[in-house]
Amino acid sequence: MNLEKLKKIFSEKFGSIDNINSYFAPGRVNLIGEHTDYNGGYVFPCALSFGTYAIARRREDEKVLLYSVNFSEIGIVETNLNQLSYKEEDNWANYPKGITKIFKDKNLNIDKGFEILYYGNIPNGAGLSSSASISIVTSLLLKDLFKLDINRIQMAKYSQLTENEYIGVNCGIMDQFIIAMGKKNHAIILDTNTLEYEYAPIKLDNISIVIANTNKRRGLADSKYNERRIQCEKALKELQNKLNINSLGDLTEEEFEENKYLIKNEINRKRAKHAVYENRRTIKAAKVLENGDMKKFGKLMNESHISLRDDYEVTGKELDILVESAWKNGAIGARMTGAGFGGCTVNLVYNETIERFKENVKKEYKEKIGYDPDFYIAEIGDGAKII
């Protein structure tokens, strides 16, 4: 699929290509800092070169026409500026509807309808943020079509609000932030507590970031996700009985160890342990990357996976097998990325060993799981843009 083809489809669908504009928002991969973004911790994601394309145009009436070339049966949703409430059956189109509704609720002046054609090449339900990508591409096009006074960080906040209040996933801001703010060949080290951030150049020379997809759809991820969040909140409350902290991200490992028995429930204690240690690992990882020490970076990635497997319990056999096989086959670092329960792993692999790596990991995975994983070499791209 390319932009010319998409324009042709737009024209067939909506009559012409007069006055259209085209937009792109990437997917993302998180290098380290998992399940820290709703715990006031750091994350370390980068934007990918694949993502969601949108072609859009204002209308003179109040109709909202949403069309996705990715879904043949549920690809068309026609509604109205005054009928933007959530509907299960609208599926993917709830994201554009939701962000439009939130913008309107925030008094951003969207006074006419619009028509949008979407095409995405992010594997769905793989933990690479297809949902935040569609929210941000829609934010950007609304800003552009209606000349809205809103900056990129605000766009990220409203997209997060769409997930929280409209979709019902109580997620943090990592995905929306990196997709709005990403920069080619850079990751962002983001403090989710203050939203202070820095760009970290990623110069990999002889190493590639290889994303491996378990091809297990994430299924129950959203409800388990909300459950983890509640467990961390409970743990935080118990710690706050004694400690003057705002979030788990405020604690060092030592402070946690000294006070962890304030958390009565053993499971909640493990969840909090992950959040605290993962946050500290993320800060260390950004430092070691600055010094170009990829081996140390990889070791921190491996520790992250073990913590997500044993303490946070969000991996599952597909992710574990894929990561263990990567470790065996020479990955400098390997871990699950995103919410977990399925989806993708992120691996640092020496370029000259990539082909062998893919072959061996694929073989082992297929033997144990029964179907193939997929591999993508990550190119770190820019955040959302007008094209």
Q: Which residues bind ligand NG1 (CB under 6 A)?
A: 34-35, 37-38, 127, 129, 131-132, 163, 169, 171-172, 174-175, 338-339
Bridge partners, residue 375, by sequence: 212
User: Is 125 labelled as part of a ligand binding site?
Assistant: yes
Count, residues near Mg ion per rule CB under 5 A? 1
DSSP 69-122: TT-SSS-EEEEETT-----GGGGGGHHHHHHHHHHHHTT----S-EEEEEEE-S
- Minimum separation from the CB atom of position 131 to ligand NG1 (A): 5
Residue 120 binds what, of ligand NG1, Mg ion, none (CB under 5 to 8 Å, by partner type)? Answer: none
Using rule CB under 5 A, residue 131 touches Mg ion: yes
Handedness of CA 202, 188, 337, 284 (dihedral sign): positive
- Minimum separation from the CB atom of position 37 to ligand NG1 (A): 5
User: Is 130 labelled as part of a ligand binding site?
Assistant: yes
C-alpha angle 299/304/308, rounded to 5°? Answer: 150
Determine the Cα–Cα distance for residues 105 and 362; give it in Å rounded to an integer.
48
User: Is 60 labelled as part of a ligand binding site?
Assistant: no
Catalytically annotated residue among 61, 175, 191, 311: 175
User: Is 128 labelled as part of a ligand binding site?
Assistant: yes
Using rule CB under 5 A, residue 159 touches Mg ion: no
User: Is 274 labelled as part of a ligand binding site?
Assistant: no
Segment interacting with Mg ion, rule: CB under 5 A, options 45-53, 127-135, 306-314, 374-382? 127-135
User: Is 304 labelled as part of a ligand binding site?
Assistant: no
- Minimum separation from the CB atom of position 76 to ligand NG1 (A): 24
Angle between helices 130-145 and 152-161 (to 10 degrees): 130
Alpha-carbon distance values, 384 to 177, 185, 211, 273 (Å)? 10, 15, 21, 34
Residue 285 binds what, of ligand NG1, Mg ion, none (CB under 5 to 8 Å, by partner type)? Answer: none
Q: Which is nearer to ligand NG1, 156 or 361 (CB)?
A: 156
Residue 39 binds what, of Mg ion, ligand NG1, none (CB under 5 to 8 Å, by partner type)? Answer: none
> If DSSP codes are grouped into helix, strand and coil, which group holds residue 194?
coil
- Respond yes or no: is residue 175 known to be catalytic: yes
- Minimum separation from the CB atom of position 131 to Mg ion (A): 4
Using rule CB under 5 A, residue 162 touches Mg ion: no
Radius of gyration of the chain (CA): 21
By beta carbon distance, the residue nearest ligand NG1 is 338
- Minimum separation from the CB atom of position 138 to ligand NG1 (A): 14
Count other Cβ atoms within 10 Å, centred on residue 196: 10
HSE-CB for 95 with a 13 A CA cutoff: 22
Residue 238, phi then psi, degrees to nearest 5: -65, -40
Q: Which is nearer to ligand NG1, 35 or 280 (CB)?
A: 35
Bridge partners, residue 365, by sequence: none
- Residues 6+ away with beta carbon under 8 Å from 19: 57, 58
Q: Which residues are catalytic?
A: 175
Binding site members for ATP: 68, 125-131
Binding site members for substrate: 34-37, 225
